[in-house]
Amino acid sequence: MTRSSSVVRSGVVLVVLALVMLASVPGVAMAEQRGGGAVVVEEGETVTENLTAFGGAVIVSGTVDGDLSAYGGNVVIEPSGEVTGAVETAAGDVRIAGTVAETVNATGGRVVIAETASIGEDLGANGGPVVVAGTVGGDATLEGQSVTLESSASINGNVEYQTGDTGGFTDDGASVSGAVSQTESTSTGGEIRDSDGLVLSGQLTAVYLFLVTLLVGGLLVGIFPDTSSRVADSVQHHPLRTGGIGLVALFGTPVVAILFAITIIGIPVTFAGLISYALTLWIASIYGRYAVGAVVLSYAGVTSRWARLIVGLLIVALVIRLPVVGGLLEFGVLVFGLGAVGTLLYRVVREQRESEPTETTEPSVTTWVVAFTPYSARGPQSEYHSRGCPLSHEDPVSIDVRWQELISTR
């Protein structure tokens, strides 16, 4: 297959993946996009539209005048933070300690609604441990390995909960105006409602996300098998270099984007760049999971690409539900995956440049003037003779032209 056709195919796949990602985020075109190692809405800062944030950590200490969609290793709404709309979040660790005017739907390894938190409408939480200590203006639907209502919790509605086989439900004396009941479900667990009112099981949501990631990972592994192998090799054989490149890319790219956005022309370019950056983070996280599978299976001598992908996805899906350790693993997977992708892109660009043919330059005007100088005015005839090109029967001008040809080929 030619290099050009490979580039075209790569472009088509990336466009398709971009469309899938954009389609999965409702209202993405109407929201401000932020991405990076740490996305922070500073105290005193106001975002005047819906905000979609991707990062290792998403921290809101200021005001979001609209809806907040946040995805990362950790998502925190500080006591000083305020969201005037709804909050949708998925992260390794979710902590809400500020004010949310509308609903909150949170999925994470751990979900905490702190004592200082105030949620205006319904709460849906799905995590490992789920702890509610703040105020909820509507119903609370809670699912986790363990569910705890602290004594400071105030819920102006019903509470429905679902716990794991090894967990339990604890009510330390919370104020609940409605009924408290366990969800009668034999398989799917508690219910989580999205912004459109669609009822989804937390377990089913996790399975859905796993299948989507598996599908995209299968496309990457099937269409780019060599790329997948090189990513795994980079993580296995050069972990320090790969991790370092990943950290630089994770934290450096948003800084460059912000600096570029200072110019008026740079604003639309930066917007498109952040969307591409978010897509790259997603792809890097998938490749990071693939690398985890490759490292684990290398001890068993298994080299199947599909086995690496499936095992990596399963390991990460299970471990990220653990407190602290899960968040660290998810962050590490992202960093190493991003570093491997960055290393690979650099090598592709370098190989592309090295494979380009060098252009032949025409002789300069000065060189041609010398070439047509009468032969008697130039000295070294011996070298031309030594090449087996006698001068005795040649016109002086044509001899000098041949001399120039000799020089140009040396």
Residue 393 resides in a domain: yes
Residue 338 and residue 370 in one domain = no
| 305 residue type, one letter | R
C-alpha–C-alpha distance, residues 119 and 137, integer Å:
6
* DSSP secondary structure code for residue 122 in this structure: -
Q: Which residue has the higher pLDDT, 244 or 24?
A: 244
Cα pseudo-dihedral 23, 27, 29, 31, rounded to 10: -130
Same domain assignment for residues 264 and 137: no
Burial of residue 42 (number of CB atoms within 10 Å: 0-12, 13-18, 19+): exposed
Whether residue 23 lies inside any domain: the answer is no
pTM of the entire structure? 0.46
Last residue of a domain, one of 177, 201, 225: 201
Position 97 confidence tier, pLDDT thresholds 50, 70, 90: very high
Mean per-residue pLDDT, 69-80: 88
Residue 288 in any domain: the answer is yes
CA gyration radius for the chain?
A: 31
Asked if residue 16 belongs to a domain, the reply is no
Number of domains in the chain: 3
Q: How far apart (Å, rounded) are the C-alpha atoms in residues 178 and 107? A: 24
The mean of the pLDDT values for the chain is 75
* pLDDT value of position 250: 84
Residue 6 belongs to some domain of the structure: no
Q: Which two tokens stand for residue 54?
A: 């991707």
- The model's confidence at residue 358, banded by pLDDT at 50, 70 and 90, is low
Residue 19 lies in a domain: no
Residue 3 has pLDDT above 50, yes or no: no
**Do 59 and 189 sit in the same domain of this protein?**
yes
Same domain, 350 and 393: no
User: What proportion of the chain, given as a percentage, has pLDDT over 90?
Assistant: 23
Contact 399, 375 (CB under 8 A): yes
pLDDT at 137 over 70: yes
Choosing from 154, 175, 201, the residue where a domain stops is 201
Same domain? 320 vs 380:
no
Residues 230 and 281 in one domain: yes
pLDDT in the model for residue 111:
92
- Is residue 336 domain-shared with residue 398, that is, in the same domain? no
Residues 326 and 371 in one domain: no
Q: What is the pLDDT at residue 206?
A: 66
Complete edge-to-edge strand list for the sheet that includes strand 63-64: 46-47, 63-64, 82-83, 99-100, 118-119, 135-136, 154-155, 175-176
Residues 182, 211 share a domain: no
Last residue of a domain, one of 186, 201, 216: 201
DSSP code at position 7? H
Q: Which residue has the higher pLDDT, 71 or 9?
A: 71
- How large is the average pLDDT for residues 144-151? 90
Expressed as residue numbers, the domain containing 67 is: 33-201
What pLDDT, on a 0 to 100 scale, did the predictor assign at position 299?
85
- Pair 254, 275: CB distance under 8 Å: no
Same domain, 56 and 162: yes
In a domain, 1, yes or no: no
- Which H or E run contains 279? helix 266-298
Interaxial angle between packed helices 202-223 and 225-237, expressed in degrees from 0 to 180 and rounded to the nearest 10: 100
Q: Tell me, yes or no, whether 12 lies in a domain.
A: no
The angle subtended at Cα 298 by Cα 294 and Cα 299, nearest 5°, is 135
Q: Looking at the structure, do residues 331 and 212 belong to the same domain, yes or no?
A: yes
The amino acid at residue 300 is A
Pair (164, 280) in one structural domain: no
